[in-house]
Chains A and B, each alone.
Chain A
Amino acid sequence: MTLDPRITGRFEYGQDQQVEGMLHARILRSPHAHAKVLSINTSEVPQQVVTLTRDDVADLEPLYGPMVKDQPIVARERVLHVGDAVAAVAAGTPREAEEAIALVEVEYEEMPGVFDPVDATGDAAPLLHDGIEIPAELRPDGRNICHRFRLQSGLGQQGFELADVVVEDTFAVAAAAHVAMEPHATLAYWEEGRLHVITGTQTPFNVRRDLAALFRLSEEMIRIVVAPMGGSFGAKTFMRLEPITAALARKARRPVRAVLTRGEEFLTVNRHPARFHIRLGATRDGTFVAKSVDAWWDTGAYADCGPSVCTKGGYAAIGPYRIPNVTVDSRCVYTNLPPAGAFRGYAATQGVWASERVTDLMAGRLEIDPLELRLRNLLRDGDRFATGEVMRDVRFAACLRAAAEAVDWSEGRKNKGLAVMLKGMQTPSRTGVALEIDAGGHILLRSATTDMGQRPDIAQRNLAAEALGLSPDLIAVGPNDTDLVPFDTRTTSSRSTFMMSNAIREAANDLRRKIAERFEVAPEDLVLSDEGAGVAGSPDLSRPLADLAGLRGDGTFVTPGGLDPDTGQGIASSHWHQAAASAEVRVDPETGVTSITRLHTAVYAGNVVDRPGAELQNEGSTIFGIGTALFEGIVFEGGQVTNGNLSDYEIPSILDVPDFTYDLLEGGEHSHGLGEMAVPVVPAAIGNAVAAAGHPVRNLPMSAEAVLGSSTSQGLRRPSSPQGGWEGD
């Protein structure tokens, strides 16, 4: 019996990669949230240990970043967050590196920091970045704001004049840690001027592009080999350890591997803390007429993908509703916290939390059943979303009805809550894939889809097998190496199954054409089976696939789109992730502890490609949602992470997971990604259930203490300000 190497321990993750002569890296990190770096002294470090400071990278591009070039490889004049890289060493053993790092002396001059996104936009706040270039497509309008996404549809704010009733409230969502079992890990080496990087990343082509820019090389001089990841959840997107490891390897002239500790993970990339103020206006019969979303996203010291987060979270907070008059003002703000980046549920988690709590406030005010109110306002096929795009293949109502039914909504709403969402996919987007017949008669699938535990190989083999009419056993997935695979935007935003399914279909058609050419017949006369290729009606012409070795079909799929950052109009998403959840809870009125008695998610799955994989992904994202809902949150004090370990920062254990149920709603013409659909709706449904139980919570996580402290009246008064206040708005 062949056991899965993931189970036997033989599987080689990023942190297991090694090459001969490899050195081990350690990073010296800033203990301060904001400080001048006066001097760095490495003279005490033993000779055989390679050190890297700002002087060693002076010949490179000074800054990198996927959207804004604002991050240095190691600190230059200042450090901007606790954990900011100041220097690095590479040594023969991890212990030697650890000891060497302690011998680097750094002199700092502390500066005031800012740790709140609203405070950071005030005149008194220290300016984090000075003289950086903000790309033309971003709108850095305001102090420490790297991007501001605005949307206006219909009459905008004036739309509230049409409302009989207006509800509003403020909400906050805490930072969260990804807690992938495997930490970030990267191995880099240089060979004849060419940089080779073996790294656990969801974004090989972004890393290639950004390393090329940083090291002033052409992209062909960079090779990225994707190591399979022991989980990522967004943490391993864009450049993390790659620049510092490559720079160390360049200086050392030896291969260098870097692996983060669990504590460093909390200082490297987290989920954006966010704050919202949302107003919703409706007529007395429950028709939404106007909505405004004000949002502040704390992207930490470096923008990373924050501008995209504030855009996607900005429109996610509108919700899947027909609202003629909408305004969104969503700000991505620099603070002296560790950087925030992509996180499973990408921006929708925060936006849906605020939006769906407000939907329930409106239901309460109008005394309309929250299910009924939602159904009355949900987008339908052919409706225009606030971005102006026409909605197709709409399943919001089906998802919501399935969720409501699962908790017997019609039999009573006590202690129950609902939530429904739309979540965009990376748009515009491009995916290439190749199908190549090898000498053994297998079809080699060349794809850049990265493996972070979501079984992409099974999904892709199934897709290729179906497109070619062959058994999945005949399909093999080739190595994930930018030298060998066609370009793909990245494995994020639950886009891969959708994009790959279309690209693979193209590649299969192309391969059929190539084979048909070899037989000198029309593609429709080609007969392809596990036994080989042949021509309809001429069985004697059949040949085994191995005879066709070298033939290759290429497929590309491109989705156009994008939003205007000033008006929010355009194409937000080439297709929409649609999901709903329902929850029933019991709240201990004396302790505030929430027990989930029923939980259901209903996600639109399109054509399911890998049923067990799809189920596992939805179960995983439901559990993610439970953690975010009830207790996951990074605590900062003066920019320091005070719970940066897995004893103080807790994720759900299996005993925290209630018996939950779910529907994968199938149908339509496409295959969909569904690796993160439950994450945004689960907290919102639980929150609405907790509110229905008499505790109108506003912030995530809903700690027992916060639930106990929340008012028991369902009033619509403006809440006491979250820390920092709302003076800015």
Chain B
Amino acid sequence: MEEPEWHSPASIEEALALKVRLGDAATVVAGGTFTGILVANDLIRPHAFIHLARLPGLDRIEIGDELHLGAMVTHRRVERSSEIRESPWACVAECFASVASPRIRNQATVGGVLCDADYASDPPTLLVALGARVRLRSPSGERDVLVADFIKDHYETALGADELLIDVVVPRPPRHVTYFKFKSRSSEDRPCVGVAVAAEVDDSGRCRSLRVVVGAVSGRPQEFPQACAVALGDRITIDVATEIGHQYSELASTLSDVRGSAAYRKRLIAVLVRRSLETLAA
């Protein structure tokens, strides 16, 4: 067995060239929290690693009309950024703060959690509800893809073989946003169910838009706009919250793992979606 090659490109161009040249033989490493587990458990044996830590500019946080998070921004920086915390994007900081433990958050990156496409994650669920996009760069240019389209299934994304995720762009959130992480075991656990709600509510309390996304229960975050339609145009009542919860529970596909069975997750979705919407009703 050869020693794997370790590449630390100094520019995005160099990184892209490496990725194109090495193809499937190379694994891109950002913070390494996911790749580390895969390698330690012998699930992957790459011939080469492309480490993004030295790339300039990927660690930027910028707030304008939209929030830009560079791919190499760590969870901890999102969590601790006072700029984000005091902005309309505070919900993003809170969501990243709910991941694992400080040790992990100091290492795990914004780009990593999306490219891993591990179902048992928190940020993708909220980012889908906020209509966030990922910016992908290839030697031939850039394109934006909605996070909702980017994560396709377990560990499967729309990232092209010649592309790198360089930025996550989050539009200005509506007035009411929550992310609820339900943990069935330790406080440091991954989510058993994650529920993100993004709602625009006008001054009279009427719901103008509503997105509800459930995550960590199957290969990708799930959203059912038809189930949310009942909430539009009026105040959200407990009955409406309950009804949407039931709809989501019925429509969502769920899996079984150490954190809970598929049936338990179905039951939880009804409860957690209702509870998340109840805060809107209150």
Contact = CB atoms under 8 A, between A and B. Distances in A.
A655 B41 contact: no
Contact of A651 (B37, B186, B260): B186
Contacts of A643: 258
Nearest to B101: A653
A525 interface: no
A656 B41 contact: no
B261 interface: yes
For chain A, the bracket of interface size reads 20 to 34
Contacts of B261: 705
B279 interface: no
A702 to B, nearest CB: 11
A475 to B, nearest CB: 39
Interface in A197-236: none
B1 A102 contact: yes
Contact of A593 (B37, B184, B188, B258): B184
Interface in A62-100: 99
Task: Say what secondary structure dominates the interface of chain B.
Answer: loop
Nearest to A706: B264
A645 interface: yes
B190 interface: yes
Contacts of A653: 101, 186-188
B143 interface: no
Interface in B255-282: 258, 260-261, 264, 267-268, 271-272
B37 A656 contact: no
B271 A645 contact: no
A656 B260 contact: no
B51 to A, nearest CB: 20
Given A635-B258, A705-B260, A590 B271 contact: yes
B268 A591 contact: yes
Contacts of B101: 653
Interface string A618-660: 0000000000001100010000001101011111110110000
A642 B264 contact: no
B186 A650 contact: yes
Interface in A678-712: 703-705, 708
Task: Say what secondary structure dominates the interface of chain A.
Answer: loop
A650 B41 contact: no
B154 interface: no
For chain B, the bracket of interface size reads 20 to 34
Interface in A554-608: 590-591, 593
B189 interface: yes
Contacts of A703: 184-185, 260
Interface string A352-386: 00000000000000000000000000000000000
Given A590-B271, A635-B258, A645 B185 contact: no
A591 B185 CA distance: 12
Contacts of B186: 631, 650-653, 655-656
B182 interface: yes
Interface in B159-197: 182, 184-190
A124 B126 CA distance: 52
Q: Which of B182, B261, B264, B271 has the most CB of A within 10 A?
A: B264
Contacts of B184: 591, 593, 631, 703-705
B264 A99 contact: no
A52 B258 CA distance: 37
Contacts of B189: 650
Nearest to A99: B1
A493 B82 CA distance: 52
A306 B279 CA distance: 53
A93 to B, nearest CB: 12
A708 B190 contact: no
Contacts of B260: 703-705
A591 B271 contact: yes
Q: Which of B41, B188, B271 has the most CB of A within 10 A?
A: B188
Nearest to B261: A705
Interface string B94-106: 0000000100000
A631 B185 contact: yes
Contacts of B258: 635, 642-643, 648-649
A135 interface: no
A263 interface: yes
Interface in B214-251: none
Given A99-B1, A591-B182, 5 more contacts: A591-B272, A648-B258, A650-B186, A703-B185, A704-B185
17 contacts: A263-B41, A590-B271, A591-B268, A631-B186, A643-B258, A645-B41, A647-B190, A650-B186, A652-B186, A653-B101, A653-B186, A653-B188, A655-B188, A703-B185, A703-B260, A704-B184, A708-B264
Interface of A: 99, 102, 263, 590-591, 593, 630-631, 635, 642-643, 645, 647-653, 655-656, 703-705, 708
Interface of B: 1, 37, 41, 101, 182, 184-190, 258, 260-261, 264, 267-268, 271-272
Those 8 A-B pairs whose CB atoms lie nearest each other, nearest first: A655-B187, A631-B185, A650-B186, A590-B271, A705-B264, A653-B188, A704-B184, A99-B1
